Amino acid sequence: MKSNLFDKTEKRLLWTLTGLCLLLGLAACSDDKDVAGGTSDDAGIVAITNKEVAGVSQKGPFLVGSSVTVQEMDGRTFVQTGNSFRASVKSDQGDFVVKGVNLASQYALLEVNGYYRNEVTGEKSEGMLALRAVTDLTDRSHVNVNLLTHLETGRVLALVQEAGLSFADAKAQAQREVLAAFNIADDLESTEDLDLFTGKGGAILIALSVLMQGDGSAADLSERVARASISIADSGTWLGADKTEVADWAFLVENDYSENSNEKNLLNRVRQNVELWMSGVEAPPFEAYVYKFWTAEYNLGNCDEGNFYEVRENTNPLSKLYGTKFVCDEDRGRWILAGRRELQGVDYYGVTDARNDAVYKVLRIGDVRWMTENLRYKFPVTNTRNKSLCYDDEELNCKAYGMLYDYESALKACPDGFRLPTYNEVMNLLQQYGGAGKEAADRLMSMDGFGAQLGGYAVRANWFAWEDDAGYTDMNKGVAIWISTQDYPTGWNVLWIDSTVAEVRSAPGASAYVRCVVDEPNQEKTKVYSADKYMIDPRDNASYRFTEIAGKAWLAENMHYKGDSSHEPCLLQDGECFYTWNDAVGSDSVGGVCPEGWHLPSREEWNELLSLVAGRIEGDADYIHYYDINFKLSDLKDWYEGDYLLPDSNDVYDFTVKPVGEFYYMMDGTGSYFDGGVAAFWGSSDSVRIISDYVEFNMPNDTLEVGHMMEMDGGYSASGQWNNKRARLSVRCVRNEN
C-alpha cells in the first residue's frame, strides 16, 4: 500500500476519479484505493439516519431567518457530495434546529449565512456573514457554529486531505493552531460546544469577535476572516499585516489606563452589549484575551512580580507603534505605555486635565515641576485658530507620544495652572541632567525621570497649510519639544533630544510636542468658580459648559444653535453663531436661541455679573462702563498673541469670553459689517431710543428700536449699552430659577 503522504498531483487525480465514481455509481472504483484518512476498509464510515442537528450560530448571535445548511461530505475524500439539508435560525439568540438529516457518512459541513449582532456597535450588522463548521455527527447532535469553528475548518480539511491525519487528530491540531494564532494557550472543549455567553470558551469567542470585527463593517470582517482562514489552512498560523493591524487597534481600545472614563471605554460597551442581549447575565471575562493578544504581538512577554518596572520595546516591525517603550506596571500588573508609567522611588504626583480627563504625572526637577509625558489635549474642531496633530495622522501615535502643535497653538494647549517651559528653564533642565550632550540625552530618556520618547516632529510643506500638508519625520530618531519665548524672544525654539545629544534648536514652522510646567505664580491661585458642569440642548444634542456665579448658572461658552427647518437664526462666521435681537429672544411662533429652562439674560442680570467683577463703574441708564475687570471673565491668551505670563485674575470665573467679533447694522440701512477683536452679547431688555446720530439718515421720529447688549473690548473692561436690534451678536444663556 502506498503512503498516505502522497503529493498533491496524485491527490488531485484521485479526487477527479472519485468524483467520476460518485457520478457514475461504479462500485469497482472504490476497491482498495487510497483515501484521505485511510482506506475504505479502515475509514470507519457511519451513515447518519434521520438525525436532528441543533446548535447556536454566533459571531455575535445570528439573527432570526439566517439560513442554516448541513452539507454531506464524502467519508473518504471529505469532498462535499451535494446532498444537503436546510433550515433557518429561529431567534435573535442564533439558535437553530435542522431535522431529518440523512447522510452517507458521519462527516458534515455546517454553514450559517445571515445578519448578526455586532458586539462592538451593539447594533445589527449592515451586511451578511457566512460561518462554517466541520464536524463528526457519530456521537453528537449539537453543533455550534462560530468564529473558531470557521477558522479551523479549512485547516482540518487540509490536514485530512493533504497530511493524511484522521479527522479527530486533524480537529485537535487545528483547534490548537487557531487558538495559538490568537496567542491563546488554554485547553478548551471542542469548538462546536463553545457558547459566546458562558465560561472560558465564551470569553475567548467574544475576544475573537471583537478583535476580528474592530471598527470595520460586515464586509471588512468577512474579508479579514477569509484572509486569516486561508493563511491558517495553508500554514497552521495567521500570517500577514492584518494580524498586526488588529493588535494595534486592540491596544488603542483596550487600555484601561486611558484618559476616557469607564463608560466611554469600548470594551466596557462591548460587555454591556453582550449582557443586554442575555438579559443582564454577566459576560465572561473576555478582556484578558484582548490584552494577551496585543502584548504578544508586540513581543512584550509576561508582566509579573519578577519584572515590575522593566521597560521593553514593541519589536513588531509591522506595528504602527514599532519601537514604542512599555513598562511593566506594579499597580496594574500589566504592560502600559512607558510615557504613562508609575515612577519608582521618585517624588511625583498626579494631575488631571479637566478638559479631557487625561491624567499626567508631575515631577520636580530642580526648581521646576514638569509633566513627565507629552500633552495629549486635542483642540475641538470648533477652534479654527489652533491645531493639534497626530504623527502620520494616526491616533495610535497620539496615544503613545502625545499631540503635535504649532507654536501659537502650543501657547494655548496647556491646562489651567500650567504653561510652556521658558528658555532658561530648559537650560536649567539640561544642567540638571548633565549639560547638553549625550549624557543629558540618555538621562532625559530614562523611564524613571523625564521620560522623553522619540516621537519625531512635523513640518509644514506650505507655510499657509496645516495638517493636510504636514510632513512627519524622525519617528524613533529624535523628539522636538516646544520652548516658550518669554525670556528668549529671538525665535521659535525647541528642546531637541535624540540618542546622541540634547540641546536647544531653532524650529520655525514646525509642529512639536508640548511638555507643560507648573505655572508657579499661579500655583496658589484657585478659581472662584469652575465651569465643570454641562447641560445638553435637546434640540440638537449640543453640550455646553456652565458655571455658577452669584447664585446663577451662566453658560461658559457661546450658543451655536442653528435653528430648525422652519427657521435658521444663526449667521455663521468662523465657527461662531451670531443672532439678531429678535432671533435671540424669540416670539410666540418661533422659539429663541436659549433652550427650554434657560433664558437670555436681562439688562439687570448682566449688570449684576459685571458689577461683581469690575473694580470701578461709571455711566448712566443708557451706557454703563465697567472698568478694571482685568481678565476675570476671559483668558488673556485668547485676546493677545504672543507669550505672556498670565495675571493672577486670569479667567478666575471660568467664563471664557473670547474676541469672536460682532456684526454692526449700518445706520443708513445698507446692511451689516463685521467688527473683529471684541465680544458682544445680547440681553433680553429692549427700548425705543432717540439716537441723535441717526437724524441725518431721516429715521422715523429720530428713534430706533434697540436691545440691550454687553460688549467687552480687550478683556480689561466692558460696557452695557443699547444696539440696533438688527445687529448680530453672540448669545450666553442663564438658567431659569426654580
Out of 19-23, 364-368, 677-681, pick the least confident: 19-23
Q: Which three cell numbers stand for residue 673?
A: 459689517
pLDDT tens, 640-684?
A: 776 556 677 788 888 999 999 999 887 666 678 898 889 999 999
pLDDT tens, 391-448?
A: 988 888 888 899 999 998 999 999 999 999 988 889 888 887 777 778 888 888 876 6
The neighbouring-strand residues paired with 607 are none
Measured from the Cβ of residue 547, the count of other Cβ atoms closer than 10 Å reads: 20
Residue 479 near residue 492, CB atoms below 8 Å:
no
Integer-rounded Cα Rg, in Å, for the chain is 34
pLDDT of residue 691: 54
Please give the Cα distance from 301 to 183 (Å, whole number). 11
Q: Beta strand pairing status for 80-88 and 67-73?
A: antiparallel
Q: Which residues of 117-126 are buried (b: 16+ CB within 10 A; e: fewer)?
A: bbbbbeeebe
Taking the mean position of all CA atoms in its chain, how far away is CA 382? 18
Report the Cα–Cα distance between both ends of the chain, in Å, rounded. 95
Please give the Cα distance from 607 to 623 (Å, whole number). 11
Query: Is the pLDDT confidence value at 579 over 90?
Result: yes
Please give the Cα distance from 295 to 288 (Å, whole number). 11
CA angle (295, 298, 304) in 5-degree steps: 40
Provide the percentage of residues in the chain whose pLDDT is more than 90.
Answer: 49
Where does the pLDDT of residue 329 fall: very low under 50, low under 70, confident under 90, or very high at 90 and above? confident
Report DSSP state, residue 343.
Answer: P
Please give the Cα distance from 544 to 560 (Å, whole number). 10
Q: Which three cell numbers stand for residue 280?
A: 443582564
Q: Which residue has the cell 447664585?
A: 551
Handedness of CA 612, 618, 622, 626 (dihedral sign): negative
723: which residues sit within 8 A by CB, 6+ positions away?
Answer: 581, 664, 680, 706, 707, 708, 709, 729
Dihedral angle computed from the Cα positions of residues 411, 414, 420 and 426, in that order, rounded to the nearest 10 degrees:
-150
Q: How far is CA 97 from CA 94, 143, 496, in A?
A: 10, 10, 67
Residue 523 near residue 362, CB atoms below 8 Å:
no
pLDDT tens, 600-656?
A: 999 999 999 998 888 888 887 678 999 888 888 998 888 877 655 667 778 888 899
Report DSSP state, residue 602.
Answer: P
Query: Is the pLDDT confidence value at 708 over 50?
Result: yes
Query: Is the pLDDT confidence value at 1 over 70?
Result: no
pLDDT of residue 37: 41
Please give the Cα distance from 350 to 366 (Å, whole number). 18
Burial (CB count within 10 angstroms: exposed 0-12, middle 13-18, buried 19+), residue 379:
middle
Q: Which three cell numbers stand for residue 521?
A: 505664580
CA angle (173, 175, 177) in 5-degree steps: 70
Name the more confident of 707 and 4. Answer: 707
Residue 377 near residue 355, CB atoms below 8 Å:
yes
Please give the Cα distance from 444 to 431 (Å, whole number). 11
Q: Which residue has the cell 478694571?
A: 628
Residue 172 near residue 140, CB atoms below 8 Å:
no
CA angle (560, 385, 708) in 5-degree steps: 40
Segment 382-391 mean pLDDT:
86
What phi and psi values does residue 199 have, to the nearest 5 degrees?
65, -175
Measured from the Cβ of residue 308, the count of other Cβ atoms closer than 10 Å reads: 15
Residue 481 near residue 374, CB atoms below 8 Å:
yes
Q: Which three cell numbers stand for residue 441?
A: 540625552
Out of 220-224, 267-271, 446-450, 539-543, pick the least confident: 446-450
Query: Is the pLDDT confidence value at 255 over 70?
Result: no
Query: Is the pLDDT confidence value at 466 over 70?
Result: no
What three-state secondary structure class fits 233?
helix
Burial (CB count within 10 angstroms: exposed 0-12, middle 13-18, buried 19+), residue 154:
buried
What phi and psi values does residue 330 have, to the nearest 5 degrees?
-70, -45
Residue 515 near residue 429, CB atoms below 8 Å:
no
Residue 643 near residue 422, CB atoms below 8 Å:
no
**Which residue ranges form the domains of the chain, and what is each CATH number?**
1-34 (no CATH), 48-254 (2.60.40.1120), 348-520 (no CATH), 533-735 (no CATH)
Query: Is the pLDDT confidence value at 210 over 90?
Result: yes
What mean pLDDT value characterizes the chain? 83
pLDDT of residue 16: 38
Q: Which three cell numbers stand for residue 484?
A: 516658550
What three-state secondary structure class fits 113?
strand
Where does the pLDDT of residue 215 fall: very low under 50, low under 70, confident under 90, or very high at 90 and above? confident
Residue 168 near residue 136, CB atoms below 8 Å:
yes
What phi and psi values does residue 668 have, to the nearest 5 degrees?
-90, 5
Please give the Cα distance from 408 to 152 (Å, whole number). 55
Report DSSP state, residue 192.
Answer: G
pLDDT tens, 168-181?
A: 999 999 999 999 99
**In the sheet where 368-371 sits, what is the strand order?**
348-353, 358-365, 368-371, 517-518, 418-419
pLDDT of residue 669: 64
Where does the pLDDT of residue 40 fall: very low under 50, low under 70, confident under 90, or very high at 90 and above? very low
Residue 474 near residue 457, CB atoms below 8 Å:
yes
Taking the mean position of all CA atoms in its chain, how far away is CA 673? 41
Please give the Cα distance from 391 to 458 (Å, whole number). 7
Name the more confident of 692 and 432. Answer: 432
Segment 123-143 mean pLDDT:
96
Please give the Cα distance from 205 to 215 (Å, whole number). 17
Out of 88-102, 255-269, 449-463, pick the least confident: 255-269
Helix (H) or strand (E) holding 158: helix 147-161
